Structure 1
Amino acid sequence: MTEKLYETMSHLATCKATVVSCERSGEGFDLILDKTVFFPEGGGQPSDVGTVNGERMSEATIRDGIVHHFVDREFTAGEEVECVVDMAVRFPRMQNHSGEHIVSGIIHRLYGFNNVGFHMGSKDVTLDIDGELSDEQIRNVERLANKAIAENVRVTVHYPDPDEANKIEYRSKLDISEGLRLVEIEGYDMCACCAPHVERTGEIGIIKLLEHIRYKGGTRIHMLCGFSALEDYHGKFRELSRISEMLSAKKEECADAVENLKTQLGDTEYKYRNIVKAALLAKAENAERTDGDLVFIVSGEFRDGLLELVRAAVPKCGGICAAFAGDDGDYSFIMGSNTVDLREKSAEIRSALKAKGGGSPDMIRGNSAATASEIHEYFNI
């Protein structure tokens, strides 16, 4: 068994340890020590990273009570080494994990729901609750969670024996006969957990519930705490500042400015569509009547107006009215006719014009990889 210093001293960043064994594992080595400050992956939290005698320790795992450290070089059994945890990585994780306990504890106490899923990712912390929470309830949870931070209450680790454990109310009851580790946040939560936590809630700094969605009959919450929340705020504030500058609007007025811009854009698009429609209808009106086929090839900006063009021009031809929009090798098309069964002819058209599509006897549509000259050649124009 490895002596796990991280279980009782979460702020301890260094220790001296003795090498028990070191064996080749993949491209590195599996190092086992008599004691360790490195938390192995578990309970939804990634493992610590750091160094052993200055060499990178990239991951720690635990099997049968033994912590395995994955390092880049070999060490000798019996050798004394210095272990150093990267606290710039661990401490924000401690903040996030302790914050999650507070949030889950409050939800359980107020609404009776349980945390049934927890994941600490690179961008946020995700927890799944087995009941639906309203917007108002989420705001209440966030307010109370930050109240817990302001109170700076103690976070205590307990190791109750089985008899004591049976008398304690705690979340995440596991089928453990011995070695149960309970993390208590005074007045807010008691939960079985293997990870290092802050010593007082004030160390968390802030708890921010970023968003919540309905998920599998319950609620999925995305949240951040402490330095992670601060980094998230910095990033979003930078983006808001950029948007504010682009819109020439105050930061607190950006939403209204975007709404106005959307309205203006909608008006512009409406006017543009009318201009496109008028231009295509003019083409149809100016086309000479023919007993044969009538073909229009226009630029891609007119794609949305092909239907109006074909409908207006079909009466002017005795064959097929075909309208193409785009460039050589990438055309959208619509074809209509009052005299030709286009559904029967579609196989021939697809083959000749490298096309895909289909439709009804009087109208087909699709895409073509043909060139303008190939289109003209097919229609003998």
Structure 2
Amino acid sequence: MTERLYNQDVYTKTFTGTVRSCTEVPGQEGYEVILDRTAFFPEGGGQYGDIGTLGGVRVRDTKERDGEVLHYTEGPLQEGDTVEGEIDWKVRFSRMQQHTAEHILSGLVHGRFGYQNVGFHLGDDICTMDFNGPITREEMEEIEQEANRAVYEDLPVHILYPPEEELQKMEYRSKIENDGQVRIVWVPGYDRCACCATHVGSTGEIGQIKVIAMMNYKGGVRVTMVSGDRALLDHEKRERDMKEISAMLSAKEDELPEAVRRLMEENEDRKCQIIELQKRMNELKVQQIPEDSRYQCLFETNLNQNGMRDLMNKVLERGVPICGVFLKRGEQYQYVIGSRDRDIRELGKKLNVRFHGRGGGKPAMIQGSLTGEEKTIKAYFEEIINVQ
């Protein structure tokens, strides 16, 4: 089996190892390399495998299979050669920060509520945790503050390999049943958890822990978190966004909530005004329609969905048997078609077939979208009506 240097010293960035095997991976334009010793961490514990180089050849992923560490390289290596390996330390260290921060947050949630972290994903931009119980935003803010106190205390992060007898007496979190030697990650006062992945040596190296999102998920809550450099980048982006919004609204940053509320109220007033104007416009349009019309096929450009339905209903109220309103949206037309005394579903089906559309509804009204030219749609609409 490969000697795993990351278990001896997680800060090993470069090393030398002998190539035991190198096999081309069919269909992947790459190779699977096994060494006698490696500092590359394979995917596990919710954390991606390391990337870096072996003998100058890029390693794009690392996994584990049947106890072996598999390096997936972009080029071949010679079996028996001794090569120098180098971890992409920026990527690895960021993952170590996120993973240690996850332990602290999960430990605090477990200690306070008894919930388990039942789903953990450590991506290269964010980290998500799924807890199997509800947590309010106010409660999570308190947990976040307590987690950052662990960072400020700069506590040592211990890696333990307790013997079976000691393990039986130890309280620790674990997502799976473990066979053989169990590796425990212990942050004193905050968490003790079985985990195979890499972590920082002390909590101060995390830098900061920031929860950036929460959502209800499968009866519990999904928490999105960033830490370290990722937290700094998140702060910088939010600051840039705030300054840009501040300039657009001509308001100081601490006045933005009130400025946005005013804008929303103004928009709501404008929406009401637009609805009233559309109704008045529709009334004027309907007055121009002959009362003895057999049908109306109207093409509009300045209506919303409610305006389309309002215009259709007003035409039907005037006594026109069938009315279709079509609204241009990019390359397509949205439509609403209605009748007070006929089932117009078959008409809609024919339109959809002819113009690659989709939609449907009830006998008295259908709606959907289709693709075509106004002249062609109008002619086919008239043809269907005349056949019926």
TM over 0.5: yes
Q: How does 1:244-263 map to 2 (within 5 A)?
A: 244-263=246-265
Instruction: Please state if 1:371 is matched with 2:374.
Output: yes
Matches of 1:322 and 1:240, distance apart in 2: 48
Q: How does 1:107-122 map to 2 (within 5 A)?
A: 107-122=109-124
Deviations 1:227-272 (A, max 9, x none): 1111222222222222222222222322322221121112112112
- Name the Cα RMSD after superposition: 2.8
Instruction: Please state if 1:330 is matched with 2:333.
Output: yes
Deviations 1:138-167 (A, max 9, x none): 122111110000000111111122122223
How far off is 1:300 after superposition? 2.6
**Structure 1 SS opposite 2:302:** helix
Q: How does 1:187-198 map to 2 (within 5 A)?
A: 187-198=189-200
Residue identity matched to 1:227: D
Matches of 1:334 and 1:199, distance apart in 2: 68
**Structure 1 SS opposite 2:64:** strand
Deviations 1:322-345 (A, max 9, x none): 3534359736244445xxx422x7
Q: How does 1:52-71 map to 2 (within 5 A)?
A: 52-71=54-73
CA contact (8 A) 2:158 2:187 kept: yes
Deviations 1:168-203 (A, max 9, x none): 222117544533211111222211111111111000
In structure 2, the CA distance between the partners of 1:314 and 1:96, relative to structure 1 (3 Å rule), is closer
Residue identity matched to 1:371: E
Residue identity matched to 2:157: V
Matches of 2:175 and 2:274, distance apart in 1: 64
Partner of 2:103: 101
Between 258-267 and 307-316, the greater mean CA deviation after superposition: 307-316
Between 345-354 and 223-232, the greater mean CA deviation after superposition: 345-354
Partner of 1:285: 287
CA contact (8 A) 2:297 2:381 kept: no
Identical positions, percent = 35
Matches of 2:226 and 2:211, distance apart in 1: 7
Matches of 1:72 and 1:349, distance apart in 2: 55
Between 30-39 and 364-373, the greater mean CA deviation after superposition: 364-373
**Structure 2 SS opposite 1:208:** strand
Matches of 1:228 and 1:147, distance apart in 2: 19
Deviations 1:267-307 (A, max 9, x none): 112112211211221233344443x4363634232353344
In structure 2, the CA distance between the partners of 1:68 and 1:273, relative to structure 1 (3 Å rule), is same
CA contact (8 A) 2:282 2:314 kept: no
CA contact (8 A) 1:19 1:33 kept: yes
Q: Which structure is larger by alpha-carbon Rg, 1 or 2?
A: 1
Matches of 2:117 and 2:318, distance apart in 1: 69
Partner of 1:158: 160
CA contact (8 A) 1:161 1:178 kept: no
Deviations 1:69-103 (A, max 9, x none): 11122222331111100011000100000011111
Matches of 2:313 and 2:175, distance apart in 1: 70
**Structure 2 SS opposite 1:75:** coil
Matches of 1:314 and 1:62, distance apart in 2: 69
Unaligned runs of 5+ in 1: none
Between 222-231 and 326-335, the greater mean CA deviation after superposition: 326-335
TM-score (norm 1): 0.87
Matches of 2:156 and 2:71, distance apart in 1: 31
Partner of 1:90: 92
In structure 2, the CA distance between the partners of 1:135 and 1:305, relative to structure 1 (3 Å rule), is closer
Matches of 1:321 and 1:22, distance apart in 2: 73
Unaligned runs of 5+ in 2: none
How far off is 1:309 after superposition? 4.0
In structure 2, the CA distance between the partners of 1:330 and 1:117, relative to structure 1 (3 Å rule), is closer
TM-score (norm 2): 0.85
